[in-house]
């Protein structure tokens, strides 16, 4: 047991170190947490007493990672608001639908190309359709684009994407985690999960008064404990009715988002999301054999190309619908390319369901490429747009000359 505390300390130290390094180079920290996890994983060689593999603490770190998913999804729920989405306007809903549709189709295409079975393909679709809210928001703030008109379209579309993530995850949890094999059984569990979600939200709305009153707690300590209790109990109860605990966390987040205490909860939960979220990415890395990544590179590269294509097209369509300039439309597509936390969560569902391990390797390489490439594409979207325009003009002019 003595080694556990030290190992966790070592893990945190390494996570913090790579985090600082990636921050310095202005990269997203998420892939770096995964990489350092991989480097410390049980698959790595060890040299006598210099054993950096996290053997004793593995289970504990894994549990903290599991808690990380709960906090990540709880936060997603808190940030999401259906009324906000409806308020955001038709153009965003239409643009978001195209975005989700095209990316989903590119997932189907990749799954088919790789000859994946249905379950694996569905997970791939999830991985490829989950934009990283964290990376996108950070890049837009860094590039000082928050005031640009297309930014509100981008963030609206991300909200739509978040809605997709929620629905797809509940579908996946029915498909992958329940162990159902026949189409009927899969459909039944998925519908059940969806019904559970809707019922839960409806109940939450109905009892909002009482929730608000119950959370009228002055002491921040007791407030924190009450909210955490709500989160863990809901997640745990969901598990017992065969709805993934992550969905439970998302649900309670969605319900509490409408509470008058929403902002206070959000504020309070952020450090937990950051801490346990980092542990999640680290533990995801731990579970991956770095040697297996090579086999996923080809698939990931095709996936990346498909994603960039799907994003460019859907960005253009969304921009057209919203009535912004072509240059701004290019910004939309390229900004949304970044992939991160939710793709990894999708992959971890595949892992929990015992699907092909190549899914995890694929997710790591795919997220790694797009978490680095996405911000670069966002930054240079104007240059890329000008370049493609110039090339296009050349091609169009060529036959006449």
Partner 1 sequence: MLVKEIDLPGIGRKFVMETKAKGKMIVIVHDNGTRELYIPDPADPDERLSVGSFTDDESRKLAGIIGGMAYKPKALENLDIEIDDLVIEWHRIDPDSEWIGKTIGELKVRQTTGVSIIAVVEKEKKNIVPGPDFRFVGDSVLVIAGERQHIKLFKELLAIKA
Binding site for partner 1 (CB under 8 A): 79-81, 84, 87-88, 133-134, 136-137, 140-141, 144-149, 151-152, 155-156, 158-159, 324-325, 327-328
Select 122 or 265, whichever has its Cβ closest to partner 1: 265
Task: Give the residue with the Cβ less far from partner 1, 121 or 133.
Answer: 133
Rounded Cα distance between 76 and 168, Å, is: 14
Cα separation, 262 vs 266, in Å, equals 6
User: What is the C-alpha separation between 253 and 79, in angstroms, rounded?
Assistant: 8
Between CA 105 and CA 125 the distance in angstroms is 8
SS3 50: strand
Cβ 266 to partner 1 shortest distance, Å: 8
CA 180 to chain CA centroid, nearest Å? 25
Strand partners, 339: 131
* Residue 183 neighbours by CB distance under 10 Å: 9
Q: How far is the CB of 158 from partner 1 (least distance, A)?
A: 7
Query: CA-CA distance, 131 to 344, in Å (whole number)?
Result: 11
Give the three-class secondary structure for 47. strand
Supply the minimum distance, in Å, between the C-beta of residue 221 and partner 1.
23
Closer to partner 1 at the Cβ: 144 or 397?
A: 144
Q: Which is nearer to partner 1, 145 or 188 (CB)?
A: 145
User: How far is the C-alpha of 295 from the C-alpha of 111, rounded, in Å?
Assistant: 15
Q: Kindly state the smallest distance separating residue 131's Cβ from partner 1, in Å.
A: 11
Residue 82 or 301: which CB sits closer to partner 1?
Answer: 82
Which three-class secondary structure state does DSSP give residue 296?
Answer: helix
Least separation in angstroms between CB 207 and partner 1: 25
Least separation, in Å, of the C-beta of 375 and partner 1? 15
Measuring CA to CA, which residue among 356, 351, 345, 365 is closest to residue 120? Answer: 356
The CA distances from residue 205 to 11, 194, 214, in Å, are 41, 17, 14
Given the complex with partner 1, which of 106 and 131 has the nearer CB atom?
A: 131
At its nearest, how many Å lie between partner 1 and the CB of residue 79?
6
Nearer to partner 1, 149 or 294 (CB): 149
Q: Are 336 and 150 in contact (CB under 8 A)?
A: no
Q: Which residues have CB under 8 Å from 74's CB, separation 6+?
A: 231, 249, 250, 252, 253, 269, 273
Of 392, 364, 225, 346, which is closest to residue 287 (Cα–Cα)? 364
Nearer to partner 1, 43 or 138 (CB): 138
* Burial degree of 118 (CB within 10 A; 0-12, 13-18, 19+): exposed
Q: Distance between CA atoms of 101 and 160, rounded to whole angstroms?
A: 11
Instruction: For partner 1, give the closer residue by CB, 36 or 345.
Output: 345
**Residues 154/88, Cβ–Cβ less than 8 Å:** no
Closest CB to partner 1 among residues 306, 330:
330
User: At which residue do the structure tokens 């966390």 appear?
Assistant: 249
CB of 102 to partner 1, least distance (A): 22
- Smallest distance, Å, CB 141 to partner 1? 6
CB of 278 to partner 1, least distance (A): 18
């Amino acid at each position: 047991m003595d080694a556990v505390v030290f190992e966790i300390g070592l893990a945190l130290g390494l996570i913090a170190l790579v985090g600082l390094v990636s921050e310095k180079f202005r990269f997203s920290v998420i892939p770096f947490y995964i990489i350092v996890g991989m480097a410390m994983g049980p698959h790595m060689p060890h040299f006598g007493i210099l054993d950096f593999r996290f053997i004793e603490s593995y289970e504990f770190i894994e549990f903290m990672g599991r808690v990380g998913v709960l906090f990540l999804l709880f936060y997603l729920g808190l940030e999401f608001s259906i009324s906000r989405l409806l308020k955001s306007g038709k153009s965003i809903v239409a643009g978001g639908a195209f975005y989700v549709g095209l990316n989903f189709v590119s997932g189907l295409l990749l799954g088919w190309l790789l000859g994946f079975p249905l379950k694996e393909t569905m997970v791939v679709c999830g991985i490829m359709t989950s934009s990283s809210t964290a990376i996108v928001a950070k890049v837009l703030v860094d590039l000082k684009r928050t005031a640009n008109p297309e930014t509100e379209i981008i963030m609206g579309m991300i909200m739509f994407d978040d809605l997709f993530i929620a629905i797809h995850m509940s579908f996946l949890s029915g498909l992958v985690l329940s162990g159902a094999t026949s189409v009927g059984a899969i459909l039944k569990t998925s519908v059940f999960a969806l019904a559970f979600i809707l019922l839960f939200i409806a109940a939450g709305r109905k009892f909002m008064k009482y929730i608000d009153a119950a959370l009228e707690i002055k002491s921040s300590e007791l407030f924190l404990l009450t909210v955490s209790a709500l989160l863990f109990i809901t997640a745990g109860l969901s598990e017992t009715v065969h709805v993934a605990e992550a969905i439970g966390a998302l649900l309670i987040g969605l319900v509490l988002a409408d509470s008058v205490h929403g902002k206070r909860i959000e504020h309070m939960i952020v450090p937990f999301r950051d801490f346990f979220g980092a542990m999640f990415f680290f533990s995801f890395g731990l579970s991956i054999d770095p040697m297996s990544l090579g086999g996923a590179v080809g698939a990931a590269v095709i996936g990346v190309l498909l994603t960039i294509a799907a994003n460019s097209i859907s960005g253009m369509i969304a921009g057209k619908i919203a009535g912004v300039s072509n240059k701004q439309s290019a910004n939309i597509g390229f900004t949304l390319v970044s992939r991160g936390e939710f793709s990894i969560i999708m992959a971890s569902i595949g892992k929990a369901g015992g699907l092909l391990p190549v899914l995890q390797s694929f997710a790591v390489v795919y997220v790694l490429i797009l978490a680095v490439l996405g911000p670069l594409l966002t930054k240079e979207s104007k240059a890329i747009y000008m370049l493609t325009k110039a090339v296009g003009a050349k091609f169009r002019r060529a036959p006449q000359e």
